[in-house]
Structure 1
Amino acid sequence: MNQHIFTLFLCLTLFWLLNSGHYSLLILSLGLASIILVLIISQQMDIVDHESQPLYLTPIIFSYYVWLIKEIVKANITVVKHIWLGKDSISPQLKTIKISQKTDMGKVIYANSITLTPGTVAIKLQGDEILVHALLTANIASLEQGEMDARISKLESQC
Structure 2
Amino acid sequence: MKHLLVLLVALGAIWLLWSGIYTPLLLAFGLVSCLIVALLAWRMNLVDRESVPLHLHLKVIPYWGWLVKEMLVSSLAVTRLILTPGVKLVPEVVRLKTAKMEDVTRVTLANSITLTPGTVTLDVSDDEILVHCLTADGAKDLLAGGMAARVVALEN
After TM superposition, the score normalised by the length of structure 1 is: 0.85
Deviations 1:85-109 (A, max 9, x none): 2353432112212236522111111
User: Equivalent residue for 2:90?
Assistant: 91
Tell me how far apart the structure 2 counterparts of residues 62 and 70 of structure 1 sit (CA, whole Å): 13
User: Equivalent residue for 2:37?
Assistant: 38
User: Equivalent residue for 1:10?
Assistant: 9
Report matched runs for 1:1-159 at 5 Å: 2-54=1-53, 56=55, 58-86=57-85, 88-99=87-98, 102-157=101-156
Structure 1 residues 101 and 72: CA distance shift in structure 2, 3 A: farther
* Structure 2 counterpart SS, 1:88: coil
Q: How many residue pairs align between the two structures?
A: 156
Amino acid across the alignment from 2:43:
Q
* Structure 1 counterpart SS, 2:47: coil
**Contact in 2 for aligned 1:4/1:48 (Cα 8 Å):** yes
Structure 1 residues 125 and 55: CA distance shift in structure 2, 3 A: farther
Identity, in percent, stands at 38
Amino acid across the alignment from 1:137:
A
After TM superposition, the score normalised by the length of structure 2 is: 0.87
**Contact in 2 for aligned 1:100/1:149 (Cα 8 Å):** no
Cα RMSD for the two superposed structures: 2.0
Structure 1 residues 126 and 43: CA distance shift in structure 2, 3 A: closer
Structure 2: tracts of 5 or more residues without a match: none
Deviations 1:87-132 (A, max 9, x none): 5343211221223652211111111111111111111222221121
Amino acid across the alignment from 1:77:
L
The runs of at least 4 aligned residues of structure 1 exceeding 6 Å deviation read: none
